[in-house]
Structure 1
Amino acid sequence: MGGQRAQLADQPETRPAAGPEGPPPELVFRRRLRPAQVARELWGARELVRALAERDLRARYKQAVLGFAWAVMTPLALCAIFTLVFHRAVKIDTGGVPYTLFAYVGLIVWQFFSNTMNQGALSLSNNLSLLNKVYCPREVFPLATMLVATVDMLIGTAVLGLLFLVFWTAPALTFLWVLPLLGIQFAFTYGVALVLSVAVVYLRDVRHLLPIITQMGVFATPVAYPLAQIPQRLQEVYVAVNPLGAVIEGYRRALLYGDAPDPALTAIAAVSSVVFLVGGYLFFKKLETGIADVA
């Protein structure tokens, strides 16, 4: 008996075989995003972007009696409400500028952002049949919605020109500051649209949050009031989280007051918008490969 125990003790201990450690490193798929390649793909898909935007514009205004006039009906209606409520009741200080002009400049920016956000969030889920059949960069779908919102913004800008005539006011010569502010506005808006578009595919509850975000956002953004209403110590943090605050304030200073935008707040908004754009794009590309499986 003792000899058998000794023999068992001398035998090597048997262990279960280890499971597979995974495929060899050279077979693991690693996706690398090269900015030059991304730019070429987007440029190659420019006709698709134009076709998608044209389709959306036709579908939106095809059977509407007022047609493209609806692009300015919402900002004008909100401008009238803000004039009656904020200007008459709260007495917003606009620095001598007619409140209608003051509010309408902010509403143009907000309407562009909200339209892109709401339509861009649904751009993938509404085009699943197309993106599963045709190869193209998936980011062109939210980009097309931003192009549609740009057309609406251009129409709204034409109405702004009429408002300048109504109030016998001319844009200040500092209007050229609008160009860099547009870049900040587009970068931030597109980054948000990219995140929301892929988030709606994976989590359908997001689409129900969009109306709430839109309603709260118009009051959380200095559309009906100046940025100066936010405490000075919080303004830098605020524009880092919401670059539209600095954009709207910059437009007002450049178009209505003849001043250059605040350099510190504009720089913070520019950096923040780039972070939103790059982060949103990386988030989009990270989840892009599973869109067909989830949908």
Structure 2
Amino acid sequence: MARELWAARELVRALAERDLRARYKQAVLGFAWAVLTPLALCAIFTLVFHRAVRIETGSTPYTLFAYVGLIVWQFFSNTMNQGALSLANNLSLLNKVYCPREVFPLATMLVATVDMAVATGVLGLLFLVFWTPPAATLLWVLPLLVVQFAFTYGVALILSVAVVYLRDVRHLLPIITQMGVFATPVAYPLAKIPHAWQEVYCALNPLGAVIEGYRRALLYGEAPDLRLTLAAAASSVVFLVGGYLLFKRLETGIADVA
């Protein structure tokens, strides 16, 4: 898979560039839309969870705490929603040009990566606003990124081929997105999950360990919890390998079903 994707890297770049142009072509605010959604949700979470529910984040401002989680969630939800439709929306191109078909969900993840990079720039501004510099342990972000990307791409592969065979899946995506943001520790800390269940939870939802790891590394100056991170990493490998195998098994019938 790696060799095929590397050989098709120019196609991935072209598809991602096309999608970016289509998304922001006539938008007055352009790339600002990449940060408006997480900022709006962050404001809502601050009002509801921090002030009403009283979520405690220690010495870290809750806005920073929530925004770190929202960056990860927006990346995942954007890739999931767009990646799920990537094959169905490109059937005409897919049937005319030979290429590894996994490039289509990968291109959507590249677009989501650009949006995440823009949103991360705003995170830097928030650090300045709250006079809270990122912790020296921020290099732990790099291995967590690998886990995040592997899990997200695996889910995108599964959903992209599932939508082709089961069109009802596309109607489930908004429900999954709405439920997922509350089922994932975006607005609250992972500590709200009972300690005995945290490892199982992170295996089922690796984003929980990723978000918690980012917060520990960026905001609290601590290394990510090794036990939870390993559970999330192992689960991400399962999602990636399992998603790829399922994708390759079903891709030969995509044109016939579509």
TM-score (norm 1): 0.87
Deviation (angstroms), 1:39: 2.1
1:163 maps onto 2:126 in alignment: yes
What is the CA deviation profile of residues 33-57 of structure 1, one whole-angstrom value per residue up to 9, with x for unaligned ones? xxxxx32211110000000000000
Of 11, 15, 34, 1:48 maps to 11
The number of residues matched between the two structures is 258
Q: Could you say what secondary structure the match of 1:92 adopts?
A: coil
Q: What is the root-mean-square deviation of aligned Cα atoms in Å?
A: 0.4
Q: Could you say what secondary structure the match of 1:173 adopts?
A: coil
Distance 1:118 1:144 in 2: 13
Distance 2:128 2:151 in 1: 31
Distance 1:41 1:221 in 2: 33
Paired position in structure 1 for 2:163: 200
Deviation (angstroms), 1:103: 0.1
Select the structure with the greater relative contact order (CA < 8 A; seq sep ≥ 6).
2
Distance 1:236 1:265 in 2: 5
Paired position in structure 1 for 2:20: 57
Distance 2:182 2:59 in 1: 22
1:222 maps onto 2:185 in alignment: yes
Distance 1:211 1:96 in 2: 35
Paired position in structure 2 for 1:15: none
Distance 2:149 2:18 in 1: 21
What is the CA deviation profile of residues 148-202 of structure 1, one whole-angstrom value per residue up to 9, with x for unaligned ones? 0000000000000000000001000000000000000000000000000000000
Larger Rg: 1
Of 154, 162, 165, 2:117 maps to 154
TM-score (norm 2): 1.00
Bigger helix fraction: 2
Identical positions, percent: 88
Paired position in structure 2 for 1:136: 99
Distance 1:177 1:115 in 2: 24
Distance 1:39 1:225 in 2: 36
Deviation (angstroms), 1:95: 1.5
What is the CA deviation profile of residues 234-284 of structure 1, one whole-angstrom value per residue up to 9, with x for unaligned ones? 101000000000000000000000000001000110001000000000010
Of 130, 134, 149, 1:186 maps to 149
Of 191, 206, 209, 1:243 maps to 206
Q: Could you say what secondary structure the match of 1:59 adopts?
A: helix
Displaced runs of 4 or more, over 6 A: none
What amino acid maps onto 2:74 in structure 1? Q
Written as runs of structure 1 = structure 2, the 5 A alignment for 1:231-270 is 231-270=194-233
What is the CA deviation profile of residues 91-124 of structure 1, one whole-angstrom value per residue up to 9, with x for unaligned ones? 0010211000000000000000000000000000
Distance 1:54 1:289 in 2: 27
Distance 1:235 1:39 in 2: 32
What amino acid maps onto 2:60 in structure 1? V
What amino acid maps onto 2:137 in structure 1? T
Q: Could you say what secondary structure the match of 2:242 adopts?
A: helix
What is the CA deviation profile of residues 211-246 of structure 1, one whole-angstrom value per residue up to 9, with x for unaligned ones? 000000000000000000000011010000000000
Residue segments in structure 1 that go unaligned for 5+ positions in a row? 1-37
Paired position in structure 2 for 1:12: none
Paired position in structure 1 for 2:239: 276
1:93 maps onto 2:65 in alignment: no
Written as runs of structure 1 = structure 2, the 5 A alignment for 1:8-157 is 38-157=1-120
Deviation (angstroms), 1:133: 0.4
Q: Could you say what secondary structure the match of 1:222 adopts?
A: coil
What amino acid maps onto 1:191 in structure 2? G
Q: Could you say what secondary structure the match of 1:225 adopts?
A: coil
